[in-house]
Structure 1
Amino acid sequence: MRRRSFIGMTAAAIASPAFALDSGSSGRIETIPEFSDASSVVPRVRVFLPSGYDSNEQRYKTLYMLDGQFAFEGDSDGINFEADRRVTRLMDAGTIQPTMIVAIDNLGDDRFLQYMPESIYERASPELRSTVEREIERVGATSLSSNVFIEFLQRQLKPFIDANYRTSSDRLDAAIFGASMAGVMSGAIFVEAQETFGLGASMSPNWAIYDERFIDHPSLPEVWRDYFSALGPPEGRRFWLDHGTEMMDAGMVPHQLAIAESMTNLGWRRGCNLQTRVYDAGHAYAQTAFQMDELLAWLLA
């Protein structure tokens, strides 16, 4: 699935402020009105609270999901992660710890500006910079906005969630997740906001920064390798990487290998702190994210 096709899906459903889940799921979803006017950063933030949240005093892990329009069952005419249903099922089975979800909508046509890491652009070759600048110009903008988004997560959203919900404030109980270009951004957040998020997952990430021409940039794997070296030793953190073997995912191999090598050199051990998966499949959304259960079970155990 091309990134533009994915962006076209972002004209998805607008949820009501709060509603009960159906089809056997349980819990509730709340829209946070405090951020409804922050459309220049995020158009909408929703929180999924599992069944039992109101009847106990325990603290919850928190899964922050980018591309929040596609987080929950019923979103986007059924093309979504069903994260509410999956988390409920895994919690009921005792596979994962009690977890709430924060779904953060993307900026629609400006999604690339929000999810393209400015730090990578600054390190990039002239050829890659041209690719990025072409996309910036295509949406009529003059610059990327990913640094603003990361600061928003760290300085506004997460403090608000921790102050208003029963979350664990430990970074090892806070996860950031994204797929496709949002998978690139979740990786960048894991690197650049590592004091905030101790768990991370990049599903089918577009490490190659493909545009519609699908041109490879030979220097980019080394850029990613150096970038992830800023993580340092794991210190209890966990990071999930996956990609498919078909469609645009086939081009992610050298980048994914470079990132994994950088992390293992820092002491991240596969299966313990670092999980890598290769699926005989295509891009995450084209496959309706069938690997999601495995990802959540490992990340939130």
Structure 2
Amino acid sequence: MKHLYLTLITLSALVVGCNNPKEPVNEKGQLTLLGNWAPEGLSWRDVWVWTPPGYDSSQSYPVLYMHDGQMLFDSTNTWNHQEWQVDETMERLISKGVIQPTIVVAIANGGSIYRTSDYFPEDVIPSLPEAIADSLIQNDLAGKARGNRYVDFLIHELKPFIKERYAVSDNPMDHYIMGSSMGGLISLYATLQYPEEFGGAACLSTHWLGARRTRNAELSSAILDYTAEHLPNPYSTHLYFDHGTVGLDSLYAPYQSKMDSILVANDFVEGRGMSKVFEGADHNERSWSRRLEVPLTYLLGAK
């Protein structure tokens, strides 16, 4: 999204509307920066809220929580000059009636030092051999696991704040969560920890390896085993997974295959679970933006 461009288009539409009141205005969604958050036990981060075209506070909307919020809307402000194109994709799918008008809450990560610490499924750690757990905590988690604190922040602080100020649905099954890589892992974990809070999770390029430096079979197996033991009710929660075949994504296939078997064994079939492979897709925002409509349609498809 280019903020200046959108502003100019909006002003132009308003001028035309003044000259000809009967001509419809080409509405866009609106992105609002809520400002810096400094949750106790976490590093500060920005939070944005995107409201859909025609947002009406007297209505009720589903809400989608997304991680790595600074990478979602504006490539001119991202470290790699890429973005998910969330606003453009949402507007296109909503205008076509493919998905429901939905509020998006984008939570920035807490910086490269703490991102893995925030997004790692903390309750997996006690099941690890001591040497692996110590390596993980010291080399990847900046000395302390923060995954539970991050999820608690989402559930007990951010969600009530959003509910108080925006017209979100009272039905928890209209609340969804999405992320990629480690963001995919924490989206899954949040759903395992609080299944009553989410109707579904989309986990793109899920980082089953679990960390950047500490990589071994025990760590990945522990994540999958924990997931298998804590899956929510398949009749009330939808789970989406995918991965590409290039770069880091090329390493995920055997782990996702095991996850797919776990899903089938727990009745996540026939629309309750989805797993897709995107040939030629890499591990970056450009690749995720190209297929974003698939998980959005799966979770938010017009009812």
Q: Distance in 1 between matches of 2:107 and 2:63?
A: 13
Is the CA contact (8 Å cut-off) linking 1:72 and 1:83 kept in structure 2? yes
Cα pair distance change 1:146/1:124, threshold 3 Å: same
Cα shift at 1:145:
0.8
Q: In the alignment, which residue of structure 2 is the partner of 1:86?
A: 89
Q: Distance in 1 between matches of 2:9 and 2:71?
A: 17
Gaps in structure 2 of 5+ consecutive residues: 11-25
Cα pair distance change 1:183/1:128, threshold 3 Å: farther
Q: 1:199-226, CA deviations, whole angstroms, 9 ceiling, x for partnerless residues? A: 101111111124257x432563364144
Q: 2:129 aligns with which of 116, 125, 128?
A: 125
Is the CA contact (8 Å cut-off) linking 1:175 and 1:198 kept in structure 2? yes
Letter in 2 for 1:94: G
Q: Distance in 1 between matches of 2:151 and 2:278?
A: 29
Cα pair distance change 1:115/1:20, threshold 3 Å: farther
Letter in 1 for 2:150: F
Greater shift in the superposed pair: 22-31 or 230-239: 22-31
Cα pair distance change 1:249/1:233, threshold 3 Å: same
Is the CA contact (8 Å cut-off) linking 1:66 and 1:105 kept in structure 2? yes
- SS of aligned partner of 2:290: coil
Is the CA contact (8 Å cut-off) linking 1:201 and 1:239 kept in structure 2? yes
Letter in 1 for 2:156: R
Q: In the alignment, which residue of structure 1 is the partner of 2:71?
A: 70
Is the CA contact (8 Å cut-off) linking 1:73 and 1:84 kept in structure 2? no
Q: 1:217-269, CA deviations, whole angstroms, 9 ceiling, x for partnerless residues? A: 25633641442331243123211100112222222223212222222222111
Letter in 1 for 2:54: G
Gaps in structure 1 of 5+ consecutive residues: 1-14
Rg (Cα) greater in structure: 2
2:150 counterpart of 1:149: yes
Cα pair distance change 1:122/1:218, threshold 3 Å: closer
Is the CA contact (8 Å cut-off) linking 2:204 and 2:288 kept in structure 1? no
Q: In the alignment, which residue of structure 2 is the partner of 1:243?
A: 243
Q: 1:108-159, CA deviations, whole angstroms, 9 ceiling, x for partnerless residues? A: 021111111111222223454244134247xxx4311111111111111011
Is the CA contact (8 Å cut-off) linking 2:119 and 2:185 kept in structure 1? yes
Percent identity for Structure 1 against Structure 2: 26
Letter in 1 for 2:125: Y
Q: In the alignment, which residue of structure 1 is the partner of 2:273?
A: 274
2:208 counterpart of 1:207: yes
TM-score normalised by the chain length of structure 1: 0.83
Q: In the alignment, which residue of structure 1 is the partner of 2:198?
A: 197
Q: In the alignment, which residue of structure 2 is the partner of 1:291?
A: 291
Q: Distance in 1 between matches of 2:286 and 2:129?
A: 30
Letter in 1 for 2:136: V
2:119 counterpart of 1:107: no
Is the CA contact (8 Å cut-off) linking 1:45 and 1:104 kept in structure 2? yes
